[in-house]
Each structure stands twice: as structure tokens, then as C-alpha cells.
Amino acid sequence: MRFDKGLLVCLTFLLACNKPKKDDNVTFKEAGIHIEQIKEEIELVSDSFANLKLESQSRSANEQGELELISVESYKEIIYDSLDLPNLQVIKDLSFLFLSEFHGDELQEGVTQGKDWYGLIIEGDSSSLKRLNVKMERSFDPILDSEGEKTGWEITADSAQNCLMLIATTRFELHEQKLEDFQVDFGRPSLDIMKDTISLVMDSIEYSIYENTDRFLLSDGNLVDANYKMYITAQKNGEKITQNLIAKYNMDDNKPNILWAGDLDGDNKLDLIIDASRHYNVFLPTLFLSSFADENELVKCVAFLESVGC
């Protein structure tokens, strides 16, 4: 679905420099990624919202549109939810990658070989798939290498300007084409939880996406967000499905954010690419596809890439 008027879209990822320890549950070894000094912003500029409408989210906001505060004396009184989503279903013959430079241990050698790669190209208010000749070469790692060393990797492709992601698969047909998509804005780089529901209509199916969190007010005046959730709801086979896409016990100067929404796998249903990171120094683009969803799901997490700062 397209909007009636032009949109200006920029993608922002700000990765700082203290490399955190990687958690086992957010490592995708077969297709790791490292992105250095990427600074962009998702911003929606339009006079017409067409198929995107904003509705009040009553379940997580009060009448002023602010989250209700839970007063506690200290961090020790905060009860954290142990739920951690998304859960990855590894799909064979599906690879997910980005054009960037990598540390040597973040990519397997030869990961790009023997595959037909397509880039998701964002141009103005539209997106398309374009077949690309993807190359993988050794490169100088400014963080780890001494002069003359090249332990890093660089993924490049000719004529790949404005490429958001790369995908290679034999599980569904890929060919050069324009894609049905939406331009969405969850408010990044602001860390505030979205106060409204985003509704997207595709092939007569209305999808609603919203966020929620517990917001605690400490005795020293600091605010702490915990138990973050992102949900999607829609009708499927005559029943309303509510799916918890992302769950994080807290946020460290970062929150999940939608990078792209549209139909990637050609089944006329909504697919999503979401940065699922809770940490300011981690970039975690995550691919959700509708064609792999179980009966009680709207989408399935089929791939994600973890990238940390320098």
C-alpha cells in the first residue's frame, strides 16, 4: 500500500563504542554482522496518511498519553519478566545479510558464495528487490588490526545504493520487482514508548502494532523501563490473533524499532524487518515472514543478525 503524497525516509542506527558481551540467545553464527558508525534516522514526512492511521493505545497509556508510573525505592524492587523474544526458527536455504564491514569472527568465510542475492532497495517512498553481485573480501579492521593486517571482512555489491538488506533463498521466489510496502515510524531516535497503535491494511487485512512497558519511578527521581513488549494483532482464518513479537526485560538506552514493513515473500500478507535490540551498542535486525507462520501466528522470526559497536 502506498501513501498519496511523497515521503522522506531516513534510517538511523547509532552504534556506540563499548563492545558488550554477546548473549547466547542473540547470536546467529551462520550470518553474523558488524556495522560501524552507521547514523541514520527513520522519519515520516507526509501530509497524507492514507492506509496508516493512528489510534489511542489505552492498554498502556493514561488519558494524557503517558505511561503510568510505578513508584519503587530502588532497582532491587523491580520485578523483571523472564520472557525473551523473538525465538528464531532457523530456515534452511535462507540467508540474511547487510552491506558493511565486519570483524573477522563475525562472518563465516564464503558465506556469500553460491547464492543468488537480492537487495531490498529503498528509494524515496518506494522499495524494490534488485539482483546484486555480492562480494566478500578481507579488509582492515580499525579496531583490531595493526598496520598491514587485514583480519576483517567487507561485504560489497555493485550498484547497491540505498540497500537496506540482502536476502538469498530458494524457499520462495525472488525476482526484481517493486514491493508493496509501508513507511512506518515508531519514533526513533526517541526512546519513548510509542503512545499510539500503528494500523496497516494489506489485502483487506488490518494489522495493528503497538508497544508496552512497565515504567518505574525510583526514589531518586530516575525513570526505568522494564518488561518491554511489542505486539501485532490481526484476523486470521476468522479469529483474532495477538502475537508477542519482541519481549525484553529492560532497555539500555535503546528500544526496538521497525525498519521495514511490507510483503517480501509474495503471499499478500505483512512481513516485517525490526531492529530488536535493547542495547545502545547492539544492532539486531530481525526478519519476520508471514509465509512461515504457524496457525496461531501472523509472522515467524526466520533470521536475525547481531552487530555490536567497536
Residue type, position 138, single letter: R
When mean pLDDT is compared over 16-30, 37-51, 180-194, the highest value belongs to 180-194
pLDDT at position 194: 66
What average pLDDT score do residues 162-177 get?
Answer: 94
Q: How deeply is 287 buried, as exposed, middle or buried, from its count of CB atoms within 10 A (0-12, 13-18, 19+)?
A: buried
pLDDT at position 165: 94
Give percent of the chain above pLDDT 70.
Answer: 74
Average pLDDT, the chain: 78
pLDDT tens digits, 265-305: 999 999 999 999 998 888 888 999 999 999 999 999 999 88
pLDDT tens digits, 69-93: 888 888 788 888 888 889 877 788 8
Of 286, 217, 189, the residue nearest 246 (C-alpha): 286
What average pLDDT score do residues 24-39 get?
Answer: 36
pTM reported for the whole predicted model: 0.76
Q: Does residue 52 register a pLDDT over 50? A: no
C-alpha 173/C-alpha 171 separation (Å) is 7
Measured CA angle at 212 (ends 207, 213), to 5 deg: 165
b/e per residue 113-132 (b: at least 16 CB within 10 A): eebebbbbbbeebbbbbbeb
| Choice between 197 and 263, residue whose per-residue pLDDT is larger | 263
Q: How deeply is 134 buried, as exposed, middle or buried, from its count of CB atoms within 10 A (0-12, 13-18, 19+)?
A: buried
For the chain, the structural domain boundaries read 24-308
pLDDT at position 60: 37
DSSP labels for the chain? Answer: ---SS-----------S-PPPPPGGG--GGG-----S---------S--TTEEEEE-TTT--TTS-PPEEE-SSGGGPPPP---BPPP-PPTTEEEE-SSEE-GGGS-TTTTTT--EEEEEEETTEEEEEEE-EEEEEE--TTTPPTT---EEEEEETT-TTEEEEEEESSS---SEEE-EE-----TT--SPP-EEEEEEETTEEEEEEEEEEEEE-TTS-EEEEEEEEEEEEEETTEEEEEEEEEEEE-BS---EEEEEE-SSSSSS-EEEEE---BTTEE-EEEEEGGG--TT-S-EEEEE--EE--
pLDDT tens digits, 121-161: 999 889 999 999 999 999 999 889 999 999 999 999 988 88
- Predicted confidence band at 55 (pLDDT cuts at 50, 70, 90)? very low
- Predicted confidence band at 310 (pLDDT cuts at 50, 70, 90)? low
Q: Of 19-33, 116-130, 179-193, 253-267, which range is least confident? A: 19-33
What average pLDDT score do residues 195-205 get?
Answer: 87
pLDDT at position 91: 83
- Predicted confidence band at 29 (pLDDT cuts at 50, 70, 90)? very low
pLDDT at position 131: 96
| Dihedral of alpha carbons 172, 175, 178, 183, sign | positive
pLDDT at position 116: 96
C-alpha 136/C-alpha 216 separation (Å) is 46
| Choice between 305 and 228, residue whose per-residue pLDDT is larger | 228
pLDDT at position 19: 38
C-alpha 43/C-alpha 25 separation (Å) is 30
pLDDT at position 225: 85
